[in-house]
Every structure is written in C-alpha cells, then in structure tokens.
Amino acid sequence: VIYNSDSEPVDIAPLAELVDEAAREGDEVAREILSAAGRELGRLAVSVIDKLDLRSSAFRVACVGSVFRSGDLVLEPLREAVSRVAHLAEIGPPLHPPAIGAVKLAQKRFEISDVRSE
C-alpha cells in the first residue's frame, strides 16, 4: 500500500507509531522493522562519513526525528555501524536547537562574524 503507485498516498506517521507500540509490547516483527531502520540509518551515516572523509575525525551524529523515540531498537544498530568505521564519532541528540543552525548558516552565507541583540 505504501509503495504502490496506483494507491492513494498513505500517511506513514501513524503506521510508524503502531510499529513502535507493537515493538514495546514485544512483537518480534515490529522489533525487526525498527532494528532494520537503525541498520539502514547506520548504512547511510557511514556513506556520509566516507564521502566527507571523517573516519578518523571526532564529530557528532545528531539523531533527529520521531524514529529515535524507539530508543535502542533503532539506536544500537546505528551506533554499531558508525563505530565500526568512525571510532571517535559520538551519537546523540543535537547539541543546539534548529534555530541555532539556521543562524549559523545565515552568518556563513552573509559573512557575518557575530550576531548580537541590542
């Protein structure tokens, strides 16, 4: 239903919530779905790490999004994948709220060295 182009668009968020709830209740298929999501996120992170040549650097992989509400079912496979290639990487929530990132991007774009409120 989700991927069939002949069907109507499906809102995936409620389905993800059901999978998370089932996993918390011990459903093995739901647990495997979340674990597979973590492995896939790990694979994607490793791809970025390789493209940016960060294997020997210290950096943070920020976990953003509702999938991380599932906790270790998603986080452990992600951690395992990243730690295999980047021992100095840290995995966790973002260090700053999104607005700070937006300000930093604006500073860089407009070559502003410091932003102060009067």
Provide the pLDDT for residue 101: 87
pLDDT band at 1 (very low <50, low <70, confident <90, very high): low
Provide the pLDDT for residue 43: 97
Q: Using alpha carbons, list the distances in angstroms from residue 90 to 10, 38, 40, 63, 86.
A: 35, 16, 18, 10, 9
What would the mean pLDDT of 8-14 be, rounded to a whole number?
A: 69
* Residues 52-78 pLDDT 10s: 999 999 999 999 988 899 999 999 999
DSSP 8: P
DSSP 26: T
52: left (phi over 0), alpha (psi -120 to 50) or beta: alpha
Mean pLDDT, the chain, rounded, equals: 89
Provide the pLDDT for residue 13: 72
